[in-house]
Amino acid sequence: MEIGMSKLRKKWIIGLGLGVIALGLVVCSIAIWIKSSALPDDIQVERKLTVEDSIFLNLEKKAKQTSNKIIDSTFHIKVDLYRVLNYKGDTTIWRTSDCKIKKKSFECYHKECWGIGCSRYRLRTRDWMTKIHYKDTVYDTTYQNLNFGKNALVHYTPIAKVPKFNRKAVAKALSKLSGKPCYQIFELRSNYKLEAIGLPGFSWKNKNDYNWELEAYVKSDEKTNESKCEVRAPLVLYHPDANAYRYISWSLPEKIQNYTYELFNESMNSYRDTTINWKLVYKDQYGRGDTLNITTKFKVDDSDDEYTWLRRKKRCYDTLDSERCK
């Protein structure tokens, strides 16, 4: 019996030893694979370096070479910039690397990250820069007039091609509206800013100006016991993330802007079978536009309170997406 138990122990010990050896071989294989697949320190993975990044990378290399020695000289940074006149006649400044010049036109685009989370790479290179001490830093800046002056590279004024305002379709969409009091009666999405003239008690609200969906609320005055209409966003307690970041971009020609306007009856008056003639003023992002005469017949019926997926169905017209408001 004892001889059998000893043989069993020997087999168990041998098996355990072989398992440990196999596990060690697996770990070594994984380590070798990771080391072989890792990229060298001087390789950046598919990252387009900006002018600042290139500058700081050069400083990093110099810092490693000098090993914290003090450099008794002036550090020169070469910067090439374009001066560009926009549609309004204002002079804008662009890096040459941000612009693509064609025979009769050009395009410029610049994107930056704003916030704490997007500065890690530059902070690493700046740490190396602090190890080098220069007497002074000089920016050798060269300006070139891109689209104006005698030495202009191309004679072209950048401007976005804003689609025309469909006057006929908009007038038809606004010909019949709800006359319900204190109510959001219509929504219009286009490339134009809107304003109503001759429509008392009604107003256009630009949704782009608000973080939350606007609604019309009936509010009762405790002193006079009178009901008043108030158009506002819901009262939401909002705490912005301190570590959040976002990308901000600029371009020439500018990106075509689109606006979503909601028409509210901000009064407590009910318009039943009432026809009103008024004017709609529309202007694009450059201030170009016109005035459109509108005739609207207001009425109140049960269809105003139709709901879709627990939300009230809104009447709308979308010049950018013809299928959205069908």
* 282 occurs within a structural domain: yes
Q: Based on the domain organization, do 206 and 109 belong to the same domain?
A: no
Q: Based on the domain organization, do 179 and 74 belong to the same domain?
A: no
* 207 occurs within a structural domain: yes
Q: The domain containing residue 270 runs over which residues? A: 167-233+246-318
Residues 6+ apart with CB under 8 A from 176: 296, 297, 299
Q: Based on the domain organization, do 102 and 196 belong to the same domain?
A: no
* 323 occurs within a structural domain: no
Q: Domain boundary at 145, 175, 193, which? A: 145
Query: What Å distances lie between residue 155 and 19, 105, 106, CA to CA?
Result: 77, 7, 10
* 44 occurs within a structural domain: no
Strands 215-220, 227-232: pairing kind: antiparallel
Q: Based on the domain organization, do 312 and 177 belong to the same domain?
A: yes
* 32 occurs within a structural domain: no
The predicted structure's pLDDT at residue 310: 44
Phi, psi of 84 (to 5 degrees): -130, 130
53 half-sphere exposure, CB direction, 13 A CA radius: 10
The predicted structure's pLDDT at residue 236: 67
Q: Based on the domain organization, do 226 and 292 belong to the same domain?
A: yes
Phi, psi of 46 (to 5 degrees): 40, 55
Q: Based on the domain organization, do 76 and 118 belong to the same domain?
A: yes
Closest CA relative to residue 64, chosen from 128, 111, 114: 128
Q: How many CB atoms lie within 10 A of CB 81?
A: 15
Beta bridge partners of 84: 92
Q: Based on the domain organization, do 88 and 198 belong to the same domain?
A: no
CA dist., res. 106 & res. 91, Å (int): 16
Domain count, the chain: 2
Q: Based on the domain organization, do 178 and 270 belong to the same domain?
A: yes
Q: Based on the domain organization, do 253 and 132 belong to the same domain?
A: no
Phi, psi of 77 (to 5 degrees): -120, 120
Per-residue pLDDT tens digits of the chain, which is 326 residues long: 444 455 555 655 666 666 667 666 666 666 555 544 444 443 333 344 555 556 556 655 665 555 445 555 777 888 899 999 999 999 999 999 999 999 999 999 998 887 766 654 444 444 444 445 667 778 889 999 999 999 999 999 999 999 999 999 999 999 999 999 999 999 999 999 999 999 999 999 999 888 788 888 888 877 778 888 988 887 766 666 766 777 889 999 999 999 999 999 999 989 988 999 999 999 999 999 999 999 999 998 766 555 444 455 678 999 988 788 87
Q: Based on the domain organization, do 222 and 270 belong to the same domain?
A: yes
Q: Domain boundary at 99, 115, 145, which? A: 145
The predicted structure's pLDDT at residue 126: 46
CA dist., res. 184 & res. 37, Å (int): 60
Residues 6+ apart with CB under 8 A from 264: 183, 184, 185, 202, 203, 205, 214, 216, 231
Q: Based on the domain organization, do 119 and 179 belong to the same domain?
A: no
Q: Based on the domain organization, do 85 and 181 belong to the same domain?
A: no
CA dist., res. 169 & res. 322, Å (int): 11
Phi, psi of 150 (to 5 degrees): -65, -35
CA dist., res. 255 & res. 107, Å (int): 11
